[in-house]
Amino acid sequence: MTNTLLTDARIALPELQEHRIRTTHNLKIRPEHFHAVITGEKKAEFRRADRDFAVGDFLCLNEYGPCEHGSQVVGFTGAVAYALVTHVTDLNEWAPGYVMLSIQRRRAAVSCR
């Protein structure tokens, strides 16, 4: 029960995270979703809760999909977009092990490294 309360407090009250260092999460994203982030159409990410996502963190979204020189070859395209996490919703009640991240696109770049 304590874990649930802490999780709910972290999600609902971002001001409690004042002393937390921002984390940048490097994540793969499919081309159709990547382009929707770049254009501003996509404002949320449905992700596995396998990381400690928190408000204020950055997502470095690495486009991952078929190579333009051959659709049979799949890999990183080199295109990336940065997004700020503005809200984290724990979906454990409906989709165990997943979160919905509300995001604001910050900038596009060539590489996250």
Sheet strands side by side (includes 44-48): 24-29, 58-67, 70-90, 98-109, 44-48
Query: Which pLDDT score is estimated for 105?
Result: 93
Distance CA 87, CA 13 (A): 10
Predicted local confidence at residue 8, as pLDDT: 43
pLDDT of residue 77: 87
Domain that holds residue 27: 2-109
Predicted local distance difference test score (pLDDT) of residue 34: 94
Q: Which residue has the tokens 């051959």?
A: 70
Nearest Cα to Cα of residue 55 among 18, 107, 97? 18
How many domains, the chain? 1
- pLDDT tens track of the chain, all 113 residues? 334 433 444 444 455 455 678 899 999 999 999 999 999 999 999 999 999 999 999 999 999 988 767 667 788 888 999 999 999 999 999 999 999 999 999 876 555 55
Q: Show the tokens assigned to 108.
A: 């596009």
Q: Where do runs of H (alpha helix) occur along the chain?
A: 2-12, 31-39
Please provide residue 95's backbone torsions phi and psi, each rounded to the nearest 5 degrees: -135, 85
CB 40 within 8 A of CB 68: no
Residue 67's pLDDT is 72
The CATH number of the domain where 37 resides is what? 2.30.130.30
Q: Residue 17's pLDDT is what?
A: 52
